[in-house]
Amino acid sequence: MDIIFNNITGKNRLLISQIVDNFFKKKKINPQSRLNITFVGKTKIKNLNKKYRKINSPTDVLSFPIWKNLACVPKKGLVNLGDIVVCPEIVKTNAQKLKNDYNQELSHIIKHSLNHLIGKHH
């Protein structure tokens, strides 16, 4: 498993690594898979949300999968699963609204996004 972190440091990095590792093991995902996770501000995520989802407002997380579903992901060799873009400011706001801890909310949205990367949509 290879996670390319962009603008993520410290405890967030450790928490995300643990979540991704557990997810990969549980779902039996190719251990040579790679994904990109980037933290951005409200303006950047709003612009991405508008461009890709036609929604002109910020959101907590966006997922950009490469594969249609997990069955399509090669079982061997280096494989890129896609990108996850997170706005920590929105995550924090949502955590407060839901009376959750920031780490709980971050964990929830990362798991949610990982499911999108392997083709599980709601």
Q: Tell me, yes or no, whether 60 lies in a domain.
A: yes
Tell whether 15 is covered by a domain. Answer: yes
Question: Which residues of the chain have a pLDDT value below 70?
Answer: 121-122
pLDDT at 118 (0 to 100)? 86
List the CATH number of the domain containing 69: 3.40.390.30
Task: Please give the tally of structural domains in the chain.
Answer: 1
Q: Encoding tokens for residue 25? A: 């093991």
pLDDT (tens digit, 9 = 90+) per residue, 42-69? 999 999 999 999 999 999 999 999 887 7
Q: What is the pLDDT of residue 119?
A: 83
**DSSP states along 41-103:** -HHHHHHHHHHHH---S--SEEEEESSSSGGGS-SSS-EEEEEEEE-HHHHHHHHHHTT--HH
pTM for the model: 0.91
